[in-house]
Amino acid sequence: MIQSKTLARLITLAGMALLAIGLFASAAQAAEEPQPGFEQFRGCPRPEEEEKAFCIRSDVKGGHLQMGSKTVPIENPLVLTGGTNPFFEEFTANSEGGLSKTKQKVPGGVIGLTGLTWLLEFFGSDALTLYATTELAGIPSNFTFGTVTLPIKVHLTTPSGILGNSCYIGSDSSPIVLNNTTGTTEPPPPNEPISGVEGEFKEENEIVYFQNGVYVDNSFAAPGASGCVLKLFGFIPISLNGFVNEQAGLPSPAGNNEVVQELDIEIAQQSSVY
130-175 confidence digits (pLDDT tens):
999 999 999 999 887 799 999 999 999 999 888 999 999 999 999 9
Please report, as a single letter, which amino acid is at residue 156: L
pLDDT at 163: 92
pLDDT at 231: 82
pLDDT at 126: 86
pLDDT at 14: 52
pLDDT at 13: 46
pLDDT at 190: 98
CA distance 182 to 4: 10
Query: Cβ of 42: how many Cβ atoms within 10 Å?
Result: 16
- Ranges of H-type helices in 185-248: 241-248
CA distance 55 to 81: 8
* pLDDT means over runs of 10, the chain (274 residues): 42 49 42 91 96 97 98 98 94 96 96 92 88 97 88 95 94 97 98 97 96 97 96 84 96 98 97 97
The total number of structural domains that make up the chain: 1
Report the predicted TM-score, pTM, of the whole model to 2 decimal places: 0.86
pLDDT at 15: 52
- Ranges of H-type helices in 76-118: 109-114
Range of the domain at 11: 4-273
pLDDT at 233: 73
